[in-house]
Amino acid sequence: MNPKRLFLACVLLIPMLVLAETRVPIIYSTDLYHPPSDPDDHFDTAVLFAMKEFDIRCVILDNGLGRQVGPEVKAEFRHRIGRPPLEQLMRITGRQVKYGPGLPQKLSSATDQGLQQPPENQASIEMMLSELRASEQKVTLFLNGSCRDFAAAFNRDPELFRQKVKAIYCNAGIVVEKGVAAQIDYNVELDPIAFFRLFETGVPIYWCSTRPKMSERAPGGPYSTNFWIHEQRIIRAGSLPVQNYFIYCLTASKEPHLPFLDKEQQKIPTPRGIAGDGGRFIWCTAPFVHAAGRSIYRKGIADFHALQPAEAERQGIADAKVDLFTFVPANVKPKEPLKSLEIDVKGAAADSQVKVFHRPVTDTDYRSVMESVLTNLSAELGK
Contact footprint for Ca ion (CB under 5 A): 31, 41, 144-145
CA separation (Å) from 132 to 123, 125, 159, 160, 206? 14, 11, 11, 7, 19
Mind giving me the DSSP string for 218-243?
S---TTB--EEE-HHHHHHTS-HHHH
Of 141 and 348, nearer to Ca ion (C-beta) is 141
CB of 62 to Ca ion, least distance (A): 8
CB of 1 to Ca ion, least distance (A): 52
CB of 297 to Ca ion, least distance (A): 28
Residue 68 CA to residue 201 CA, distance in Å, equals 28
Residue 197 CA to residue 177 CA, distance in Å, equals 21
Of 190 and 354, nearer to Ca ion (C-beta) is 190
CB of 145 to Ca ion, least distance (A): 4
Q: Do the Cβ atoms of 175 and 206 come closer than 8 Å?
A: no
Of 112 and 185, nearer to Ca ion (C-beta) is 185
Of 42 and 359, nearer to Ca ion (C-beta) is 42
CB of 187 to Ca ion, least distance (A): 7
Name 81's Cβ contacts closer than 8 Å, sequence gap at least 6.
32, 33, 34, 61, 63, 67, 68, 101
CB of 41 to Ca ion, least distance (A): 4
CB of 307 to Ca ion, least distance (A): 26
Mind giving me the DSSP string for 16-53?
HHHHHHH-EEEEEEE--BSS-SSTHHHHHHHHHHH-TT
Q: Which of 196, 137, 158, 239 is nearest to 338 (CA)?
A: 196
Of 207 and 304, nearer to Ca ion (C-beta) is 207
Of 22 and 171, nearer to Ca ion (C-beta) is 171
Beta strands per DSSP E along 75-207: 99-101, 139-143, 165-170, 178-182, 205-207
Of 210 and 295, nearer to Ca ion (C-beta) is 210
